[in-house]
């Protein structure tokens, strides 16, 4: 029986050419797998037809936008995950859901190998292949750009020679990856890290120099998940989309960073994640009133480690799973409303309320009638400083100063 390979298919030039390229190089039949993670653009049916037109023997298409929002974006929100303090893991969280569908398709169509369109220099090859190793340990991986010398020039020549139903002239100087959680743009002019991004790079956000009137929004959460916007019930996917629209119109969520890739390269990336950044800001502020201090401090460390694991392609790892359990436990009381103003590229919280809040007005108030007994502070400070005081006494004794 002819060997079968499932290919992660975007509908773009490189993966369209990869169908025939892999076929010629390996003799295998190629099954195209297209997964909708809320990236917008062409319909799944258009993509399916193109895959078949480019020589795929079968095309598997899946609308995974709700699955992605519920099972990938929401854990990222609960973790307040920002890699290196900036990047909300847009591409990093889409790879595992695509991997799930690749493995599913491989089983359905009896494939032995999984192919993807990544280069040998980035993080995504790692995320795909580590994911495949974990979910389908018997499956092999192949990357035509990396392993079968499929360069851009060769891809264009191949598409023209074979008359593939795909545009080859449209020259986009950037490499773009997008989904409902955000958009990543790199390469070309941006590789000079002193160059400021030009306006044409952006798509999810408007340029905030001439902002529209401020937009005040109230986001309601239940156990760490957004459930309503301005009182209207929403699913996680709807919440992200609505905030992409409203925060995006105000230029919220633009990020320009040089980040540390897993393969040891520092690389410049421009992100736009209006919905994600507005949600993370709101969620963090709700945690500030609903999570106990020590748990909150520790959670910040856990969230950072979680972001690193996910960035590094360890979505399906045991440590990531254990951290998920911790994070989930912290979200029990993260319910309530956050009011924020979206304006001039910023999302600024200006009100919060929660039935499960730890904010105690009577303890906090400086007005008369507060219930905090200030006389307790004196003894507390004495004991709190005791250990450092004893150590400093020793220093003076030993060093004689
Ligand atoms: N640097 C990001 C990451 O590793 C995004 C990579 C997405 N690719 C792109 N073509 N911009 O997660």
Closest atom of ligand 1 to CA, residue 267: 1
Question: Ligand 1 centre from 272 Cα, in Å?
Answer: 12
Q: Is residue 46 part of a domain?
A: yes
Residues 167 and 181 in one domain: no
Task: Report the percent of the chain where pLDDT is more than 90.
Answer: 96
pLDDT tens track for 189-204:
999 999 999 999 999 9
Instruction: Write down the pLDDT at residue 170.
Output: 65
Domain-terminating residue out of 138, 171, 204: 171
Here the CATH number for the domain that contains residue 185 is 3.90.1260.10
Q: Which residues are catalytic?
A: 14, 95, 124, 175
Residues 251 and 283 in one domain: yes
Residues 254 and 341 in one domain: yes
Question: Ligand 1 centre from 268 Cα, in Å?
Answer: 10
Q: What is the rounded distance in angstroms from the CA atom of residue 289 to the CA atom of residue 208?
A: 31
Q: Is residue 315 part of a domain?
A: no
Q: Is residue 198 part of a domain?
A: yes
pLDDT tens track for 58-80:
999 999 999 999 999 999 999 99
Residues 200 and 236 in one domain: yes
Return the residue whose CA atom lies nearest to atom 8 of ligand 1.
177
Closest atom of ligand 1 to CA, residue 124: 4
Pocket test for ligand 1, best of 184, 203, 256, 272 (most atoms within 8 A of CB): 184
Instruction: Write down the pLDDT at residue 401.
Output: 61
Residues 23 and 166 in one domain: yes
- Domain count along the chain: 3
Q: Is residue 36 part of a domain?
A: yes
Residues 27 and 79 in one domain: yes
How far from 39 is each of 107, 188, 204, 326, CA to CA, in Å? 25, 22, 11, 30
Q: Is residue 362 part of a domain?
A: no
Buried b (16+ CB within 10 A) or exposed e, 353-376: ebeebeeeeeeeeeeeeeeeeeee
pLDDT tens track for 77-96:
999 999 999 999 999 999 99
Residues 199 and 56 in one domain: no
Question: Ligand 1 centre from 91 Cα, in Å?
Answer: 6
Closest atom of ligand 1 to CA, residue 261: 4
8 A C-beta contact, residue 166 and residue 54:
yes
- 396 by Cβ neighbours in 10 Å (0-12 / 13-18 / 19+) ranks as exposed
8 A C-beta contact, residue 296 and residue 285:
no
Residues 234 and 159 in one domain: no
Residue 183 φ then ψ, to 5°: -140, 140
Q: Interior CA angle at 184 toward 183 and 189, to 5°? A: 135
Q: Is residue 392 part of a domain?
A: yes
Residue 316 φ then ψ, to 5°: -95, 20
Domain-terminating residue out of 140, 171, 202: 171
Q: Which long-range contacts (CB under 8 A, 24 or more apart) does 244-248 make?
A: 244/180, 244/204, 244/274, 244/275, 246/215, 246/217, 246/274, 246/278, 246/342, 247/205, 247/274, 247/275, 247/277, 247/278, 247/342, 247/347, 248/204, 248/205, 248/206, 248/272, 248/274, 248/275
Q: Is residue 39 part of a domain?
A: yes
Domain-terminating residue out of 123, 153, 171: 171
Question: Ligand 1 centre from 184 Cα, in Å?
Answer: 6
Residues 193 and 237 in one domain: yes
Domain that holds residue 203: 176-291+334-353
Residues 11 and 115 in one domain: yes
pLDDT tens track for 106-138:
999 999 999 999 999 999 999 999 999 999 999
Instruction: Write down the pLDDT at residue 369.
Output: 84
Q: Is residue 135 part of a domain?
A: yes
Residues 282 and 262 in one domain: yes
DSSP-H helix ranges across 27-111? 44-53, 65-68, 74-78, 90-109
Question: Ligand 1 centre from 185 Cα, in Å?
Answer: 7
Pocket test for ligand 1, best of 37, 122, 181 (most atoms within 8 A of CB): 122
Residues in the chain: 401
Residues 167 and 90 in one domain: yes
Q: What is the rounded distance in angstroms from the CA atom of residue 234 to the CA atom of residue 240?
A: 9
Here the CATH number for the domain that contains residue 167 is 3.40.50.620
The greatest distance separating any two alpha carbons of the chain, rounded to the nearest whole angstrom, comes to: 86
Instruction: Write down the pLDDT at residue 210.
Output: 73
Closest atom of ligand 1 to CA, residue 184: 11
8 A C-beta contact, residue 116 and residue 130:
no
Ligand 1: residues with CB < 6 A are 91-92, 123, 175-177, 184-186, 269
């Amino acid at each position: 029986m002819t060997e079968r390979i499932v290919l992660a298919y975007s509908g773009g030039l490189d993966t369209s050419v990869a169908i025939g390229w892999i076929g010629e190089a390996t003799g295998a039949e190629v099954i195209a797998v297209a997964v909708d993670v809320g990236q917008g653009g062409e319909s799944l049916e258009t993509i399916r037809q193109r895959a078949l037109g480019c020589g795929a023997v079968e095309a598997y298409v899946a609308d995974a936008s709700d699955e992605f929002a519920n099972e990938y974006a929401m854990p990222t929100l609960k973790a307040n995950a920002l890699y290196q303090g900036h990047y909300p893991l847009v591409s990093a969280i889409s790879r595992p859901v695509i991997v799930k569908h690749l493995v599913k398709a491989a089983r359905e169509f009896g494939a032995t190998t999984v192919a993807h369109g990544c280069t040998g220099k980035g993080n995504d090859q790692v995320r795909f292949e580590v994911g495949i190793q974990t979910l389908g340990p018997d499956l092999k991986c192949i990357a035509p750009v990396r392993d079968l010398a499929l360069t851009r020039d060769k891809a264009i020549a191949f598409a023209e020679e074979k008359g593939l139903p795909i545009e080859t002239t449209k020259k986009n100087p950037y490499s773009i990856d997008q989904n409902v959680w955000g958009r990543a743009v790199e390469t070309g002019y941006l590789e000079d890290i002193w160059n400021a991004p030009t306006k044409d790079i952006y798509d999810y956000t408007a340029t905030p120099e001439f902002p529209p009137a401020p937009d005040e929004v109230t986001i309601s959460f239940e156990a760490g998940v957004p459930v309503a916007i301005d009182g209207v019930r929403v699913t996680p996917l709807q919440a992200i989309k609505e905030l992409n629209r409203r925060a995006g119109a105000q230029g919220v969520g633009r990020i320009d960073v040089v980040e540390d890739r897993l393969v040891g390269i520092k690389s410049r990336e421009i992100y736009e994640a209006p919905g994600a950044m507005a949600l993370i800001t709101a969620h963090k502020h709700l945690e500030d009133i609903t999570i106990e201090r020590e748990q909150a401090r520790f959670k910040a460390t856990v969230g950072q480690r979680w972001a690193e694991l996910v960035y590094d392609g360890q979505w399906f790892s045991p440590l990531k799973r254990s951290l998920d359990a911790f994070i989930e436990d912290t979200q029990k009381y993260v319910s309530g409303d956050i009011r924020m103003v979206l304006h001039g590229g910023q999302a600024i919280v200006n009100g919060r309320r929660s039935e499960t809040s730890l904010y105690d007005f009577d303890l906090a108030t400086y007005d008369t009638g507060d219930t905090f007994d200030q006389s307790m502070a004196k003894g507390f400070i004495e004991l709190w400083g005791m250990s450092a005081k004893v150590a400093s006494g020793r220093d003076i004794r030993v060093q004689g100063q």
